[in-house]
Structure 1
């Protein structure tokens, strides 16, 4: 059955637009939360910003928007013809689901004590951080070996290790700063992958041929 002769790049553009808008909106929301909260970004984790007035809503909205943008990025990769293995799909969804779960279940603090929600929040954040740190290694070879993606993958891995050290030994490193560095590397990796989606040509793009006509597509 023939379908539109749009190129993979054309098919990926709506997904990429959705990814950039969602991630951008998520970052803007988190920025506003920093402006209005009055907390210390060097020592206070993002989770603690939920204690500010309206913090739960702003933080949750930002995390869910970034998760939605990440899911759209996965759609862009598929639409562009990149052949993704099961590990890549699992890690994309683990990252996105972890963000959503962390948004729906805020961290527990003495001012807002809820140990069950706090446990879920911690596990969800751990899954999200570790998933994105591993994501770059599972991409198709032409993406995985792209110099910018290699650098951001290493930075993402280094960021999660740095955050882990500061979280387990808070007196050694400022936990808030290390968390933000880890998140900056993660977002940088997502944006870099988005930029490479239509630039890096898939090794075996998913093309469909109909009636032997060049450019025609079919199932």
Structure 2
């Protein structure tokens, strides 16, 4: 499957976000709505994107007791989003309830069941960051362990750094991988610790890459997005 680009709409207002969506036109199908934009827009951004026939990645990273996450995912699925996140550190029971809720919410609303993926280790964290919160293993051990737990719980895949993609070879397919922390060659890595270029992520088989600032802050966001799409295609051919 070809690697898809998800553009992160990390804006203060729905108006700013939708201006970028309209500028990118049909070049990009997928857009990420995170906490910042979801809260700032009062949730309105979801319906605006669906009206434009765009694919929506709702990245609210649900992490709570199983019943609370079940209710949250059931609601999210009913809005018609296409992809959503929970935290793998919430445990197997929480993830299993999330998988069940996605089906329940979609069926009740008459929409397609969204893909549900578990956040493993944030790409802003490295081994020192994990050790500071009491996880002695580095990402190379913690991420595949959490990925296997998510798969066993019935989730569709994980959010992870592209660097960890080779560690999933023994996980049964299909298994969706969403990779943030992607930076074009030569770009500032910002607050990301474990990064790859678009071509490297595609070469390693990522299902999706998530890119925000390198497109959003570019002098020409449309050209920046097109260059990343070209980099993905070149990476798939290697």
Give the structure-1-normalised TM-score: 0.28
Structure with bigger helix share is: 1
Structure with bigger strand share is: 2
Give the structure-2-normalised TM-score: 0.27
Rg larger in 1 or in 2?
Answer: 1
Q: Which has the higher contact order (CA 8 A, sep 6+)?
A: 1
